[in-house]
């Protein structure tokens, strides 16, 4: 069971999504995606048809990613639990929907052309998080009573 957020969790998801070449059918993707959850930051790299790396980074280094996803912890938890429940998100829990309803956006970057990679490769990133349905996740912050 991998704890969210942790490098172990992202690495486990990366292994799943690369296991059967499922990203191949979505086409090529070249992007460095950052993830910010509470005070932790991660960098996930996509190259051609696979997710080639996941690593811990300093929050300040998110600026060097193409874009990074940031949302309250509850939003992350809802999304991951929803994906686990259905194998894929319902329409309210897709990356696109979360980005649309958040006034600041889920995907963030100082460079709009880099941020546009979030939309350009949207199906690839969604597939990455959908792969989390195939691992067991332990949340570091318990669900509020």
Residues binding other proteins (CB under 8 A): 26-28, 30, 47-49, 91, 94, 96-97, 99-101, 103, 111-113, 115-117, 119-123
- Residue bearing tokens 């080639």: 52
Contact assessment for residue 131 and residue 11, using Cβ atoms and an 8 Å cutoff: no
Sequence-ordered list of residues with C-beta below 8 angstroms from that of 77, at least 6 positions apart, any chain: 4, 139, 141, 143
Query: Which of 112, 143 has the CB closer to other proteins?
Result: 112
d(CA 85, CA 136): 12
The H or E element spanning position 124 is helix 122-130
Minimal distance in Å, beta carbon 133 to other proteins?
A: 16
For other proteins, the closer of residues 49 and 73 by Cβ is: 49
Query: Over the Cα atoms of the chain, what is R_g?
Result: 14
Of the two residues 53 and 122, which places its CB atom closer to other proteins in the complex?
A: 122
Residues, the chain, total? 145
Query: Which helix or strand (DSSP H or E) is residue 40 part of?
Result: strand 40-47
Minimum Å gap between C-beta 87 and other proteins is 13
The minimum distance between CB 65 and other proteins, in angstroms, equals 16
Nearer to other proteins, 18 or 123 (CB): 123
Residue with tokens 């490098």: 7
- Closer CB to other proteins, residue 27 or residue 72? 27
| Shortest distance, position 104 Cβ to other proteins, whole Å | 10
CB of 56 to other proteins, least distance (A): 25
């Amino acid at each position: 069971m991998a704890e969210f957020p942790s490098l172990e969790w992202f690495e486990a998801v990366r292994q799943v999504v690369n296991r059967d070449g499922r990203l191949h059918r979505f086409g090529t993707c070249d992007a460095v995606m950052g993830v910010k959850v509470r005070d932790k930051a991660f960098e996930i790299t996509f190259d051609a048809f696979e997710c080639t790396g996941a690593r811990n980074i300093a929050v300040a280094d998110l600026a060097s990613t193409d874009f990074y996803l940031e949302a309250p912890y509850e939003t992350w938890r809802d999304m991951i639990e929803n994906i686990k429940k259905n194998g894929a998100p319902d329409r309210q829990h897709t990356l696109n929907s979360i980005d649309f309803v958040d006034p600041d956006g889920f995907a963030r970057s100082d460079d709009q052309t880099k941020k546009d990679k979030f939309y350009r490769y949207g199906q690839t990133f969604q597939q990455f998080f959908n792969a989390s349905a195939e691992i067991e996740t332990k949340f570091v912050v318990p669900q509020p009573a």
